[in-house]
Amino acid sequence: MTDLTMINAIRMALSHALEEDPDVILFGEDVGLDGGVFRVTNGLMQRFGAARVRDTPLAETVIAGMAVGAAANGLRPVAEIQFMGFLYSTIDQLANHAARFRNRTRGRLTCPMVLRAPYGGGVKAPEHHSESMEAMLAHVPGLRVIVPSSPARAYGLLLAAIRDPDPVVFLEPKRLYRALKESVPDDGEALPIDQAHVVREGRDLTIVAWGAMLAEARAAADGLADRGISSELIDLSSLKPIDRTTIRASVQKTGRCIIVHEAPQTAGLGAEIAADLAEHCLTSLLAPVVRVTGYDTVMPYARLEDHYMPDAARIRAAAKQVMEFA
């Protein structure tokens, strides 16, 4: 078994899906001959043919519309949008069509499509290439939104997304594409698509994060452990639906919660989680819920990117705040 980067794990999941199900097709800008802008789909056109792995024009609305139409006609399309910042023009197809098929047809039709997109900052990319607007997608009824945090989870969650009968937006934190390696068996095992994962158990504090922020949260938890603070770390993974049960159970145990995401703070998913805890765990809370997030600005250019992104130091400062709350 070989250690894989997230890029290689995603490619392996796509390859497995193409091999096991003839209805699975891939398309997007440069996904065929060039293997995608990050080379995630490198070699798949050569292996499975141009009929199943297709290059498309630079037209995101068309890509999303093709996916909706293909899914409605019995295929399982996996469409790629090069960067999340280019995803905005797909919202009409996602919100007005893909997400409504089951309801519109009273369950006669579903829309088994996956829309993949690299998202988030951390690679010093230009404007439109570092967006983290997952909350906008999570607000659409009928869509699932998934973010992996490691190669193994990317493999299992992508297979689950492809096999799901409803539309899934699969956001890939490009900061993690080549950042770490781990052993990933090509066993075809899908992970539960709507469950959070308790990465680390603790007693004093719950930290909820997803995507690239999980690594920062883990580093913060290591530093807090040196100070005698035991942190429970939750990888949310499924941003829609949110596994509220796992989060509530953790906070009922620890009494404190920090939520970390690189998206802007206002109306981010952290606010939804905090509201849920206020509604259901108020008597368990020993301190206010704290969010450690990006700022309410456009993601800055390379020079200020590190200042914008939440890091372990900011998480540790938030932990100090909640632990000292009287």
d(CA 246, CA 266): 24
Give the CA dihedral 84, 170, 263, 255, nearest 10 degrees.
Answer: 180
The residue whose two tokens read 């781990």 is: 182
The residue whose two tokens read 């995608």 is: 36
Query: 76: which 2 tokens?
Result: 């399982």
Q: Is 24 within 8 Å of 76 (Cβ atoms)?
A: yes
Q: Is 11 within 8 Å of 40 (Cβ atoms)?
A: yes
Is the dihedral angle over the CA atoms 65, 66, 72, 78 positive or is it negative?
Answer: negative
Query: 78: which 2 tokens?
Result: 């996996």
Query: 315: which 2 tokens?
Result: 């998480």
Q: Is 221 within 8 Å of 207 (Cβ atoms)?
A: yes
The residue whose two tokens read 């990050």 is: 38
Closest-CA residue to 240 (of 147, 132, 117): 147
The residue whose two tokens read 């770390």 is: 233
Among residues 16, 97, 128, 129, the one annotated as catalytic is: 129
Concerning whether 129 is annotated as a catalytic residue, the answer is yes
24-28 and 76-80 beta bridge pairing: parallel
Query: 270: which 2 tokens?
Result: 């952290």
User: Which residues does residue 27 pair with via DSSP β-bridges, in sequence order?
Assistant: 54, 79
Closest-CA residue to 151 (of 175, 181, 172): 181
Continuous segment of H or E residues that includes residue 275: helix 269-280
Q: Is 221 within 8 Å of 288 (Cβ atoms)?
A: no
Active centre residues (catalytic): 129
